[in-house]
Amino acid sequence: MLRWSVLALSVLVNLPVFYGGLVEQNVPVEEVLTRFLITVPIIAILLAAVRAASRRSSDPRG
Protein backbone atom coordinates (compact mmCIF):
# COMPACT_ATOMS: atom_id res chain seq x y z
CA MET A 1 0.00 0.00 0.00
CA LEU A 2 1.35 3.40 -0.97
CA ARG A 3 1.25 6.16 1.62
CA TRP A 4 0.85 9.86 0.98
CA SER A 5 4.10 10.51 2.81
CA VAL A 6 5.96 8.40 0.23
CA LEU A 7 4.53 10.39 -2.66
CA ALA A 8 5.10 13.72 -0.92
CA LEU A 9 8.73 12.94 -0.12
CA SER A 10 9.31 11.60 -3.64
CA VAL A 11 7.97 14.83 -5.13
CA LEU A 12 10.11 16.86 -2.72
CA VAL A 13 13.25 14.93 -3.66
CA ASN A 14 12.49 15.33 -7.37
CA LEU A 15 11.52 19.02 -7.34
CA PRO A 16 14.74 20.18 -9.06
CA VAL A 17 14.22 17.63 -11.84
CA PHE A 18 10.54 18.58 -12.16
CA TYR A 19 11.52 22.24 -12.46
CA GLY A 20 14.21 21.50 -15.03
CA GLY A 21 11.94 19.29 -17.09
CA LEU A 22 8.62 21.07 -16.90
CA VAL A 23 9.56 24.76 -16.55
CA GLU A 24 13.00 25.20 -18.09
CA GLN A 25 12.51 22.27 -20.48
CA ASN A 26 16.18 21.27 -20.42
CA VAL A 27 15.41 17.72 -19.19
CA PRO A 28 13.21 15.38 -21.26
CA VAL A 29 9.82 14.63 -19.71
CA GLU A 30 10.48 10.89 -20.03
CA GLU A 31 13.56 11.27 -17.83
CA VAL A 32 11.59 13.26 -15.27
CA LEU A 33 8.95 10.55 -15.05
CA THR A 34 11.54 7.78 -14.98
CA ARG A 35 13.41 9.40 -12.11
CA PHE A 36 10.16 9.86 -10.20
CA LEU A 37 9.12 6.24 -10.73
CA ILE A 38 12.54 5.05 -9.57
CA THR A 39 12.43 7.31 -6.51
CA VAL A 40 9.01 6.15 -5.25
CA PRO A 41 9.99 2.58 -4.25
CA ILE A 42 13.32 3.75 -2.82
CA ILE A 43 11.56 6.32 -0.61
CA ALA A 44 8.95 3.70 0.37
CA ILE A 45 11.67 1.32 1.56
CA LEU A 46 13.51 4.07 3.46
CA LEU A 47 10.34 5.30 5.18
CA ALA A 48 9.34 1.74 6.06
CA ALA A 49 12.74 1.26 7.69
CA VAL A 50 12.32 4.48 9.68
CA ARG A 51 8.81 3.43 10.74
CA ALA A 52 10.04 -0.01 11.80
CA ALA A 53 12.97 1.44 13.74
CA SER A 54 10.83 3.98 15.56
CA ARG A 55 8.01 1.56 16.42
CA ARG A 56 7.95 0.71 20.09
CA SER A 57 7.91 -2.90 21.12
CA SER A 58 4.75 -4.12 22.84
CA ASP A 59 6.78 -6.68 24.78
CA PRO A 60 7.66 -5.20 28.20
CA ARG A 61 10.87 -7.26 28.37
CA GLY A 62 12.30 -5.54 25.31
What pLDDT score was predicted for residue 56?
A: 74
Please report which confidence band the pLDDT of residue 2 belongs to, taking 50, 70 and 90 as the band edges. Answer: confident
- In a domain, residue 43? The reply is yes
Q: Tell me the average pLDDT of the chain.
A: 90
Q: How many domains does the chain have?
A: 1
- In a domain, residue 22? The reply is yes
What pLDDT score was predicted for residue 59?
A: 61
- In a domain, residue 61? The reply is no
Residue 10 belongs to what domain range? 4-53
User: Is 61 a residue whose pLDDT tops 80?
Assistant: no
- In a domain, residue 60? The reply is no
- In a domain, residue 28? The reply is yes
Mean pLDDT of 14-31: 95
- In a domain, residue 59? The reply is no
20-47 burial, b for 16+ CB within 10 Å, e for fewer? ebeeeeebeeeebeebbeebbeebbeee
**Three-class DSSP category at 40:** helix
Q: Count other Cβ atoms within 10 Å, centred on residue 55.
A: 8
User: What is d(CA 43, CA 15) in angstroms, rounded to the nearest whole number?
Assistant: 14
- In a domain, residue 58? The reply is no
- In a domain, residue 32? The reply is yes
What is the total residue count of the chain? 62
User: Is 60 a residue whose pLDDT tops 80?
Assistant: no
